Amino acid sequence: MRRLWLLALSATVVGLTAACDPTPNEVPTEAEAPTPNVGQITFPTIARSATDGIINLAECSGAGTIRLKARIRFIATPNLFTEYRLYVANDDDEAITDPASTEDCQTTGSTTGLLVGLVEDPPGRGSRTENISSDFITDAEYATSRIVSALGLADPCGTSGDIHLCFQARRANQDVGTARVTLSVVVDDAPAPPVLKSVTPGEEALNVDWDATTPGAEESYAVEVGRQVDPADPLSVVTITSPRVSGTELRFENLTIGTPYNVQVRAFSDADNPSDPSNAISASPVDVRDFFESYQDAGGQEQGGCGTGGGGVLALVGLAALVALRRRS
Amino acid sequence: VKRAVVAAILVAVAADARAESRRWGSFEIGAGTYEPDIDSEFPGGPQPFEDAFGSGRGWMFRTGAALALFRYAGTVEAGLQSGYLQKTGKGRTVEGTRAGDDTRLRLIPVSLTLTYRFEWLNERLRIPFAPYGRVGLERFHWWVEDGDGDTSESGATNGWSATAGLALLLDFIDTQVARELDNDTGVNDTYLFFELTRRSVHDFGSDSSWNMSDENFGMNFGLMFVF
C-alpha cells in the first residue's frame, strides 16, 4: 500500500473540472487550475455561472446532464491509473478518508445519516479501464438524475441540499488519488403562475404586462406566444417563447399584423423550475401611428430634415462681428 | 483718525479688487418648462401632440457658456447654449384609439445668445441683484421615435428667443468662501437666476415647418458662474 502511495506521489494531476452546465466546458488550462502538490488531485477553482452547480426539478428528474472533464498529467510514471470511479455523497464530513477502507473517497455510508453512492455510468467502477499515459484527458457526461439517484434517497428530488462528488483514480484495485466538487441540489417548488394583466397591441408586436408571482422573489419570466397555423385545426398551434426577463413587462416583437396570438407567461424560480402558465389573453398586432405619422395624418406640413431660414448662419456672422468688434476695442 | 479710517477702507477695497481674477465670461446650468405649440397648426381640428403626449409641460434641461465682450455698468456676453427635452407618449391605432406602443419626441435645442447683465447694482450699491436680458437664435434639433425605438422622422427647426431674467448674487452669503472660490477656480461670482423666455421656433414663419414655439412663456431657473 505504501508503495502504491509512493507511486501515486510520483504523478501530478493537473486538473479536474466538474460543471453542471450541459454545454461542454473547455478543458481548463494550467493557468486556471491551481498546481496541486505531488500526488494530490484537485478540482481547479473555476468561476461558475449562477446556474452552474444547481440541479433543478427538471434536471433532477432526468432532463439534464452534468459534464465532467478531467485533464490528468503523469510526469514520472506512465500507466499509473488503470481505472477511475465517481462517488456521490450527501455529506462531505470525513469524506477525505474512509475509515473503513482507508480510501480517499468516502465509499460507504459509515456515518450516521451519510449516504454514499457510486455513479455507475462510464467511467464508473470496473466498467472502464484505461491504459492511461501522459496528458490523458477524459470527458464524460452523466445524467443529473443518475447522480442524484445514486445517493439512494427515497425522494431524491424532494429535498434541497448539497451533494458531493468524489473522483477517484485507481490502479490495481487501490486508490491512488482523489478530487472533489460540491453541487447544490435545489429542488425548490415551482413558483405560482404569474397573473397576466394586459396584452396591448403594438406595431408587429404585443406589449405584455403581468404581475410578479411573489413580489421581491428572484424569479425570471418567459412569455409564450401561440399562433394557430391551421384555422380548421385548433391543435395546430406554433408557440414562440421569449428570452427570459427579470421584469414584469415585455414587448414581443416580429409578429404579424392582424394575426391573433394567444399569450401566456411562465415564471421560473431561481433554480429554473417553471410555473404553470398564466391565464391567457388573445390579441393581434396592429398598425400603430407614431407621433410624427399622426401629425402628418392630421395634415401637418412638416416634412423633416433641416429647417428653412438661415438662422444659424446669421447667428454665426453676428457672433463673429461681435468678437471682431471686441478685439478692435 | 477719520483720514486713517478712510485710507484703510480704500486700501481694503483696493486689495479686494486686486484679489479678483480677470472675467472671461460665464457658465450656467439650469432647467425650465417647455411645450411646443405644434397643435396650433390645426385650429379646431385634431390635436396630434396632445393626443400623444398629453397637455403637461415638459422639463427642458439646459447648459451654456458665454464669452464676455464688453463691460459697461455690466457685461455683454455672446454665448452658446444647448439642452435636452424628451416627451414620451402612446401611439395611435389607425382608428385613432390609444395603442400600446410608445412614441417619443426628443429635442436638442441649440442657441446662439447675446446677453447683457446689469451688474451696476452690486458693484456700486452692494445690492446683490443683476437683472439681465438675452436674445438668441434658436435651432431645435428633433427626432420622433416609434414603438421599436427606431427614428420615424428627424429634422431641425429654426427661430429666435427673448429672455428677461433676474440673477441673485450668492457671494454675499459668505464673501470669504466666494473669494476662495475665485482664488481656487477662477469663479468670480455665483448667481442663482430666474428668467422668463419667449421662444418663436417656426422656421421664421415657413409654411412647411411645424411650430416648435413655446405655447407660453418658458420659466427657467438655475445657477450661473461668472469666471
CA distance to partner chain A, nearest, from residue B65 (Å): 14
Residue labelled with grid coordinates 399569450: A263
Q: pLDDT by residue (tens digit) across A60-115? A: 666 555 544 444 443 334 445 566 677 777 766 544 445 455 556 667 765 556 66
Decide if pLDDT at A170 tops 50.
yes
Helices marked H in B21-126: 48-53, 120-125
Residues of chain A contacting residue B51, judged by C-beta atoms under 8 Å apart? 294
- The Cα A53–Cα A181 span in angstroms is 10
3-state helix, strand, coil in chain B (%, to 5): 25, 55, 20
Q: Do A315 and B112 touch (CB under 8 A)?
A: yes
Residues 6+ apart with CB under 8 A from A26: none
Report residue A294 as a C-alpha cell. Answer: 399622426
Residue A114: its pLDDT value, please? 64
Which of A263, A291, A316, A329 to substitute to test the interface with B, most B CBs within 10 Å?
A291
Residues of chain A contacting residue B78, judged by C-beta atoms under 8 Å apart? 319, 322-323
For the ranges A155-164, B55-64, B175-184, B217-226, which has the lowest average pLDDT? A155-164
Strand A195-202 to B151-169 pairing:
unpaired
Q: Do B104 and A200 touch (CB under 8 A)?
A: no
Report, as an integer, the average pLDDT of A223-228: 93
Q: What is the pTM of this model?
A: 0.61
Whole-angstrom CA distances from A135 to A17, A72, A258, B134 are 15, 6, 61, 80
Q: Would you tell me how many other CB atoms lie within 10 Å of the CB of residue B30?
A: 21
- Closest to B144 (Cβ–Cβ): which among A203, A291, A311? A291
Residue B147 burial (10 A CB sphere; 0-12, 13-18, 19+): buried
Q: pLDDT by residue (tens digit) across B83-113? A: 999 999 999 988 888 888 899 999 999 999 9
Residue B7 burial (10 A CB sphere; 0-12, 13-18, 19+): exposed
- The Cα B205–Cα B185 span in angstroms is 44
Residue B89: its pLDDT value, please? 94
Residue A142: its pLDDT value, please? 60
Residue B200: its pLDDT value, please? 94
User: Is-contact A259 A228, C-beta < 8 A?
Assistant: no
Residue A160: its pLDDT value, please? 67
- The Cα B21–Cα A181 span in angstroms is 69
CA distance to partner chain A, nearest, from residue B116 (Å): 13
Report, as an integer, the average pLDDT of A9-33: 30
Smallest CA-to-CA distance from B220 within B61, B56, B35, B79 is with B61
Q: Provide the mean pLDDT of chain A.
A: 65
Q: Do A201 and B100 touch (CB under 8 A)?
A: yes
Residue labelled with grid coordinates 448539497: A162
Report residue A243 as a C-alpha cell. Answer: 428570452
**Closest residue of A to B97, CA-based?**
A288
- Phi, psi (deg, nearest 5) at residue A44: -65, 145
Residue A186: its pLDDT value, please? 60
Report residue A301 as a C-alpha cell. Answer: 406640413
Residue A82: its pLDDT value, please? 63
B26: left (phi over 0), alpha (psi -120 to 50) or beta: beta
Radius of gyration of chain A (CA): 31
Interface of A with B in 123-152 (CB under 8 A): none
Q: Would you tell me how many other CB atoms lie within 10 Å of the CB of residue A29?
A: 11
Residue B21: its pLDDT value, please? 76
ipTM rounded to 2 decimals: 0.84
Query: How does residue A324 score in pLDDT terms, banded at 50, 70 and 90?
Result: low
Cα angle B7, B10, B16 (rounded to 5 degrees) comes to 140
Q: Would you tell me how many other CB atoms lie within 10 Å of the CB of residue A260?
A: 12
Report residue A206 as a C-alpha cell. Answer: 404585443
Residue labelled with grid coordinates 448667481: B191
Report residue B117 as a C-alpha cell. Answer: 447683465
Q: pLDDT by residue (tens digit) across B15-56? A: 444 457 788 899 999 999 999 999 999 998 889 999 999 988
Q: Do A294 and B91 touch (CB under 8 A)?
A: yes
DSSP H or E stretch at residue A104:
none
User: Is-contact A180 A80, C-beta < 8 A?
Assistant: no
Residues 6+ apart with CB under 8 A from A115: A89, A90, A91, A109, A151, A152, A153
- The Cα B92–Cα B9 span in angstroms is 71
Which of B23, B101, B207, B211 to substitute to test the interface with A, most A CBs within 10 Å?
B101
Decide if pLDDT at B208 tops 80.
yes
CA distance to partner chain A, nearest, from residue B117 (Å): 16
Q: Do B78 and A323 touch (CB under 8 A)?
A: yes
Q: pLDDT by residue (tens digit) across B110-129? A: 999 999 999 999 888 989 99
Q: pLDDT by residue (tens digit) across B168-181? A: 999 888 788 878 88
Decide if pLDDT at B76 tops 90.
yes
- Phi, psi (deg, nearest 5) at residue A120: -100, 0
Report residue B116 as a C-alpha cell. Answer: 447683457
Strand A220-228 to A205-211 pairing:
unpaired
DSSP H or E stretch at residue B161:
strand B151-169
Q: Is A204 helix (H, G, I), strand (E, B) or coil?
A: coil
Residue B96: its pLDDT value, please? 84
Helices marked H in A61-152: 144-149
Exposure of B95 in the CB half-sphere (CA atoms within 13 A): 4
Q: Is A267 helix (H, G, I), strand (E, B) or coil?
A: strand
Smallest CA-to-CA distance from B66 within B17, B29, B21, B114 is with B114
Q: Do A291 and B48 touch (CB under 8 A)?
A: yes
Residue A241: its pLDDT value, please? 93
Residue labelled with grid coordinates 404579424: A256
Q: Is A198 helix (H, G, I), strand (E, B) or coil?
A: strand
Q: Do A326 and B69 touch (CB under 8 A)?
A: yes
Residue A41: its pLDDT value, please? 35
A18–chain B Cβ distance below 8 A for any pair: no
- Closest to B206 (Cβ–Cβ): which among A289, A309, A314? A309
Exposure of A189 in the CB half-sphere (CA atoms within 13 A): 5
Q: Is B218 helix (H, G, I), strand (E, B) or coil?
A: strand
Q: Quote the percentage of chain B above a pLDDT of 90.
A: 62
Q: Do B89 and A291 touch (CB under 8 A)?
A: yes
Residue A159: its pLDDT value, please? 65
Decide if pLDDT at A212 tops 90.
no
**Closest residue of A to B102, CA-based?**
A290
Cα angle A45, A51, A57 (rounded to 5 degrees) comes to 125
